[in-house]
Structure 1
């Protein structure tokens, strides 16, 4: 099986894809990512935007956000999207690099690893056949 042009991502309330959906101009994928491994208590907040056909149109990536502020920063970004509704999305491959970190949905297909697959970075969420919107971590 080949990698589809558009990859569905299922909305899962209260889980890793709880802040994805559609808005007046297209689709969005919002997330908070990072760990407090270095003890600084800072995290990355991201909002990726797509047109109705799933083509990436831009990203807002805010690094080094205090851990306690991350939810509010994401909520602020999402509040700026007109007519936003959480739900399933379907997007195309894209890639953005900021501060040396890769963000995006990247083709990770390889015949030795079972064929077609895509991975969402930096979240580490893998999408595989039958490409039904569900993912593995």
Structure 2
């Protein structure tokens, strides 16, 4: 299954996506601080990539083929969170 145009990222309390939600001007994802302790709600992001000082940041779409197996995923970098079918917003590492 191909990476969708917009990848959902689920809010999971007490896990690595517990700092996502919405604020007045849009979506919010923080991996270093929890600025909005009462914020809830999932987000969705289009795949993107940006390199700063040699570090790749982004939600990078990937296609892997291994024999008769194909796997489309999106990787949130540099955090290393992988998203894939059924595209329900849950991640694996």
Q: In 1, Cα distance between the equivalents of 2:41 and 2:25?
A: 15
Which runs of no fewer than 5 residues in structure 1 stay unpaired? 33-73
- The TM-score with structure 1 as length reference comes to 0.59
Q: Distance in 1 between matches of 2:65 and 2:14?
A: 34
| Count of residue pairs brought into register by the alignment | 90
Gaps of at least 5 residues in structure 2 are none
Q: Which residue of 1 aligns with 2:46?
A: 92
1 or 2, which has the higher helix percentage? 1
Larger proportion of strand: 2
Structure of larger gyration radius? 1
Match of 1:120 among 48, 72, 76: 76
CA RMSD of aligned residues (A): 1.8
